[in-house]
Structure 1
Amino acid sequence: MLPHKTLFPGVIELNYQAGEVLGCNVYLVHDQGEWTLIDIGYEETVDEFVELIRQLDFPLSKCKTLIATHADVDHIQGLAKAKQMLRTSVTSHPLAVEALQTGDKLTTFAEIKAQNIHLDMPPVEIEHQINDGDTIRIGNLELEVWHTPGHTDSQLSFRLGDVLFSGDNIYRDGCVGAIDAHHGSNINDFIKSLERIRDSDVVWLLPSHGPIFRKDNEMLNRTIDRLRSYLKMADFGTLANEWPLMDEWENEVADGTLPDGVGVKKG
């Protein structure tokens, strides 16, 4: 059995566990022998993630469900394959159901002709729909569901004590998930979601991309102000040529670097 690289009690991030970045962050939440995954990433990495879970000594039959934070291809392309391998269910927000069940390539960003992006998007049946205020129980742990739209209309976050699995709402460098009208983005909703995160007593943010970090209200305020400026500007849809945070994240994962105060050994 591999030793668990535990971030918080009951929480493992599979890229950090593997010591290399394989895709979006995939969080394994576990307690009392039961476990779930928040996102799964691309189809091509499913085998590697499932083998890693097996080596961590989590029985595959004890996977309660696979949770989609939202319907973007880089988060959910592997759902159909993982669901079949684990013989489990899939859980999402109601607004993500149609795109996931039909394998909608445009809504999920699997097909972006102008950038020569042409990815498969296998459809997957959604057994469970969740919305704001619902809870998901894993053993004795309870994930509180937050609906935090803005990046997409279906974006979900999940609170576990003083930790928030924050999806594509905010990253350590103050960036946010892509804003695109065809994607279901809404800047006003995005601002409200960031204000909710800022005003909460959550301590740690566990995003869907890049390193986890301590909530920084000054940084959140700067991001909120930037998004407010987008309401009167035409450049919010521009695409960056690079993202330095991802280079930092690659190095931190390889080195096993975590913020001070994080990293509880368990198992």
Structure 2
Amino acid sequence: MLARKPLFPGVIELNFQAGEVLGCNVYLVHDADEWILIDIGYEETVDDFIEIIRGLDFPLSKCKTLVATHADVDHIQGLAKTKQILKTSISAHPNAVEPLTSGDTLKTLAVIEAQDLMMSMPPVQIEHEINDGDILTVGEKQIEVWHTPGHTDSQLAFRIGDVLLSGDNLYRDGCIGAIDAHHGSDIKAFVKSLTRIRESDVKWLAPSHGPIFAKDNDMLDRVIDRVSGYLHMADFGTLAEDWPLMNEWDDEVAQGILPKGLETPQS
């Protein structure tokens, strides 16, 4: 039996447990013999994670459910295979149900032709739809579900005491989950979700990628300011609310204004 390396009481992250990064963070939350997995990552690493779980002496038959934080391929490609091995159920936000059950390669970002990225997305049935305010129980442990859209429309986070399993909302370096229209990003919703985390009294953030870290409100303020600015930048295309430069250009065209130092050419 492997010696368990919990991050918090009843919370084990399987990459940290393994001593190597196999993929996205996979959280095993347990109480007594009952346990759940939050995310599973790519199909190719499922066997590795299952072997770790066996080594930790968790009975495979006691997995209550597999939880998808959101419907991005790097988090959920292995769900169908894991479900078959563990004979358990899948839990996800309602917005994740269609892309997961249909194996949608566009919304899950499994296929990005312009980057020559071509991955399979095995479809999987969802038994339980979970949403903001729901409580997942594992033994006597209670896990509060937060719907934190922005990165995707199905992004969930999970509060356990003063710890938030925070998904792709925020990482230790101040980066956030990728903003991409194809998988349901929403900048205004992202700001709202980050603000919710900022205003909460959680002490620790355990993201879906990278190390856990203490919640830093000054850092969150900077991130919220930066992401709010994306609403007014052409960088984010149709996800932005406006592009102030175009209003300035309208005025300059109407008034025939050229930059200082550039004279109007003579005809």
Q: Report the TM-score when normalising by structure 1.
A: 0.88
Q: For residue 182 of structure 2, what is the amino acid of its counterpart?
A: H
Indicate the SS of the match to 2:144: strand
Q: For residue 124 of structure 2, what is the amino acid of its counterpart?
A: V
Which residue pairs with 1:257 in the alignment? Answer: none
Give the deviation of 1:63 after TM superposition.
0.2
Q: For residue 82 of structure 1, what is the amino acid of its counterpart?
A: T
Give the deviation of 1:235 after TM superposition.
1.8
1:229 and 1:77 mapped to 2: Cα distance?
A: 33
- Structure 1: runs of 5 or more not aligned: 238-267
Which residue pairs with 1:224 in the alignment? Answer: 224
Q: For residue 90 of structure 2, what is the amino acid of its counterpart?
A: V
Q: For residue 231 of structure 2, what is the amino acid of its counterpart?
A: L
Q: For residue 90 of structure 1, what is the amino acid of its counterpart?
A: I
Give the deviation of 1:181 after TM superposition.
1.2
Indicate the SS of the match to 2:232: coil
Which residue pairs with 1:262 in the alignment? Answer: none
Which residue pairs with 2:10 in the alignment? Answer: 10
1:118 and 1:64 mapped to 2: Cα distance?
A: 32
2:206 and 2:192 mapped to 1: Cα distance?
A: 19
2:77 and 2:152 mapped to 1: Cα distance?
A: 16
1:56 and 1:205 mapped to 2: Cα distance?
A: 24
Which residue pairs with 2:151 in the alignment? Answer: 151
Runs of 4+ in structure 1 deviating by more than 4 angstroms, as ranges, are: none
Aligned residues: 237
Instruction: Provide Cα deviations, 1:10-58, integer angstroms capped at 9, x if missing partner.
Output: 0000000000000000000000210000000000000010011000000
Instruction: Provide Cα deviations, 1:137-195, integer angstroms capped at 9, x if missing partner.
Output: 00010110000000000000000000000000000000000001121100000000000
Which residue pairs with 1:60 in the alignment? Answer: 60
Cα contact 2:107–2:183 (8 A) shared by 1: yes
1:11-50 matches, within 5 Å, as: 11-50=11-50
1:203 and 1:59 mapped to 2: Cα distance?
A: 31
Give the deviation of 1:136 after TM superposition.
0.3
Q: Report the TM-score when normalising by structure 2.
A: 0.88
Indicate the SS of the match to 1:20: coil
Which residue pairs with 2:114 in the alignment? Answer: 114
Which residue pairs with 2:197 in the alignment? Answer: 197
Indicate the SS of the match to 2:225: helix
Indicate the SS of the match to 2:124: coil
Percentage of pairs with the same residue: 73
- Structure 2: runs of 5 or more not aligned: 238-267
Give the deviation of 1:120 after TM superposition.
0.5
1:163-182 matches, within 5 Å, as: 163-182=163-182
Q: For residue 114 of structure 1, what is the amino acid of its counterpart?
A: A
Which residue pairs with 1:137 in the alignment? Answer: 137
Indicate the SS of the match to 2:137: strand
1:48 and 1:180 mapped to 2: Cα distance?
A: 30
1:20 and 1:235 mapped to 2: Cα distance?
A: 35
Cα contact 2:61–2:86 (8 A) shared by 1: yes
Instruction: Provide Cα deviations, 1:55-107, integer angstroms capped at 9, x if missing partner.
Output: 00000000000000000000000000000000000000000000000000000
Indicate the SS of the match to 2:81: helix
